[in-house]
Amino acid sequence: MELAIPLAEVNGRFEVSAAENWIIEAVQGDFQLGLAPQACGLQGLVDPAQLAFLEQRMALCPVSRNLPATVQKRITVTLDQQQSS
């Protein structure tokens, strides 16, 4: 459990964009949270503030922290409705 969210799994996908000279210009990370089976139907009880906190925390990952400020970085965290229903 993370922040009282009954997680079964977390899946993520990163997309990296680079310029012609191979310098990274943007990184986008999208994470989908799958709720534990016993939490089926409880996705409405997950507080948006909890998801926002996880987004902020994931933005501090080593990839984000070690890239220059000029690189656009975006992290999203959503509930995977297929996993949690």
Does the pLDDT at position 82 exceed 60? no
Residue in the block written with tokens 């995977």? 80
Q: Which helix (H) or strand (E) holds 58?
A: helix 48-58
**Residue 6 near residue 38 (C-beta atoms within 8 A):** yes
Mean pLDDT, residues 31-40 taken together = 76
Q: Which residues pair with 10 in a beta bridge?
A: 33
How high does pLDDT run on average in the chain?
Answer: 80
* Structure-model confidence comparison of residues 73 and 38, the more confident one: 73
Three-class SS state of 5? strand
Residues 57-79 have a mean pLDDT of 85
- Residue 1's contacts (CB-CB under 8 Å, 6 or more residues apart) are 7
- Predicted confidence at residue 2, as pLDDT, reads 58
In terms of pLDDT, which residue wins out, 49 or 24?
Answer: 24
Q: Identify whether the C-beta of residue 42 lies closer than 8 Å to the C-beta of residue 36.
A: no
CATH top class, domain 7-84: alpha beta
Split at pLDDT 50, 70, 90, the class of 17 is very high
